Amino acid sequence: MLTGAGGVAIGVDLGGTKIEAAAIEGGDRVIVRRRVPTPQAEGYEAVIAAAVGLVRDVAREAGVDVATVPLGFGMPGGVTRRTGLVKNSNAVCVNGRPFRADFAAAMGRPVAFDNDANCFAIAEARLGAAAAHRDGVVFGVILGSGVGGGVVVRGEIWPGAQGIAGEWGHHAVYAGRGAVCYCGQRGCLETFASGPAVEADYARRAGSALPLAEIAARRGADPHADAALEGLIDAFGRGLANVVDVLDPSAIVIGGGVSNLDLIYDEGAARVARYVFNDELTTPILRHALGDSAGVFGAALIARGA
């Protein structure tokens, strides 16, 4: 049985709808990759049990010792440092709970944790679309069931003084407008630019619900789809322009389900250029290269202390 000394690490990515784990060798070779649904409706303990079972299954299939293989875990939100309780997670059943401590206790071993967007950002900066910019500042964006971000400076995650660096999904793009976010504020980018937000906007306008991909496919033929997608483009443009104004990164790389829409990279980028505090936008806005498994690659990287 391998122990991890041979270069194998396990990365875990917790999302609002799925938990993914992969055994990865040498930084980028997937040996085993498995997913299970996130059982949020069944409660906090069920989520921990599902994640523990998934890790044990992946370790067994990969032939590594689950007690010693480097293990990294990416999850949405962060923790309050004085208490260790999760905050700001769109997997809402873990908010206010000591998930990191409880998962490590259930595994009976240490686990390296970080925000899921940080894991995405370091994976794309080290191994993926932004690798050419790894010596600069890379801003990694997740546009999916939530909106998150991570900052990588010279190949290392920059967590910030409070562990919230990159959380651009919770700055107000339209002050006082929109639904109240789960964080308690109104006007958050996440309430306009996440997949569920666009779907909800369409349903409100059309009176019937459609998944994001079908809304995008109806563009030009359905005025409600046109309006919902215009809302996405404008919120994205305003929000990312704000990030560029403050951070002026070397590159921006985008992942998550919404990132699969081509309009993000042409019309979205053009809208960023309209709103940015400059007469040009030279920052490359890149499509992810590692697919929807970037999070597990990043988690494996942090497991190794890379």
Q: How many Å apart are CA 257 and CA 17, to the nearest integer? A: 12
Q: What is the DSSP letter of 250?
A: S
DSSP letter for 156, please: E
Nearest to 259 by CA among 302, 219, 290: 290
- What is the band of 306 on the pLDDT scale with cuts at 50, 70, 90? low
Domains, in order of start, for the chain? 8-118+293-303 (3.30.420.40), 132-288 (3.30.420.40)
- The Cα-based distances of 18 to 37, 85, 169 in angstroms read 4, 21, 20
pLDDT digits (tens, 9 = 90+) for 113-134: 999 999 999 999 999 999 999 9
Enter the pTM of the model.
0.91
Structure tokens at 238: 């305003």
Give the Å distances, CA to CA, from 131 to 122, 126, 287.
Answer: 9, 5, 12
Element (H, E) at 15: none
Q: Residue 228: CB partners within 8 Å, gap ≥ 6?
A: 198, 199, 201, 202, 205, 215
pLDDT tens-digit map of 62-116? 999 999 999 999 998 888 888 999 988 878 899 999 999 999 999 999 999 999 9
CA–CA distances in Å: residue 196 to residues 63, 221, 233, 270: 38, 21, 15, 23
